[in-house]
Amino acid sequence: MDEKKVSFVSGKIIVGILIIAAGIVLLLGTLGYDLDIDLWDFWPLILIAIGIKIMVTHHDSKDILWGFFLMSIGILFQLRKLDYIDINFHDIWPLILIYVGIKIIISGGKHRSRSGHHMGHRNLKDEDVKGDRINISAIFGGGEYRYATNKLKGGKISAIMGGCEIDLRDSDFEGDEMIINTFALMGGIEIRVPQSWVVVLEGTPILGGMSDQTKALNGTKKKLIITGEAIMGGVEIKN
């Protein structure tokens, strides 16, 4: 069983702080203290906070790179909202290509790993993935992946402006709990699980959604814990 990673900078804490700050500004406005603040001007703080959270709680170089990328984009948009710089998305979209290129270099052109990690721009269909750990990234594309192992050890799934479907119905894991971390940014993740598993959602949707549509059998003891964030994207778990 994978141990659940404990962090003081969880997605829920970030969202909670942002909601409290927004509530304070709105409350002061209703009490007659007009701060002349448009809350929409500070939406990039969400990207900055999520980026910092990823860099603090992850140790993998690819995850740290993604956190830094999100934080950098958020800083650029925040500076634009505050009129310190004058840029638009069409001015900085090549940064996405730079990010993808750096990620490929960090991966080192390695052969396909046991975990079944794939870049999303390869449009893979219904692929049987060997290995017992999930490590899938769908970037500007997607694919379908099927696992068939009795020693699944959890892992992570990312969908960035893309989508992926993961079929775990022929799999199982040792112990009573397994954790899968998800991250959907303007993308979608669909996970199909056996009816012998109980799903527990502990993720944070931000302008997105996370839903559990499964029906577990009575007496089920196996627990699948889904963590992570869905930012303007979606994560669905089905049978």
Residues 165 and 228 in one domain: yes
Highest mean pLDDT among 34-48, 73-87, 104-118, 223-237: 223-237
Q: Are 215 and 239 in contact (CB under 8 A)?
A: yes
What's the whole-number mean pLDDT along residues 29-44? Answer: 74
**Does any domain span residue 152?**
yes
pLDDT tens digits for range 204-223:
888 789 999 998 888 778 99
pTM score > 0.85 for this model? no
Say yes or no to pLDDT of 166 above 60: yes
Residues 205 and 231 in one domain: yes
Residue 108's pLDDT is 57
**Does any domain span residue 114?**
no
- First vs last C-alpha separation in the chain: 22
**Does any domain span residue 117?**
no
Domain housing 134 = 124-238
- Please name the amino acid found at residue 84: Y
Q: How many domains does the chain fold into?
A: 2
Long-range contacts from 14-21, C-beta under 8 angstroms, 24+ separation? 14/46, 14/49, 14/50, 14/53, 14/204, 15/204, 15/206, 17/49, 18/45, 18/46, 18/49
Residues 103 and 149 in one domain: no
**Does any domain span residue 3?**
no
Q: CA 223: distance to chain centroid?
A: 20
Residues 185 and 211 in one domain: yes
Where residue 5 falls (left for φ over 0; alpha for ψ -120 to 50; beta otherwise) is beta
* Tokens 């963590």 -> residue: 227
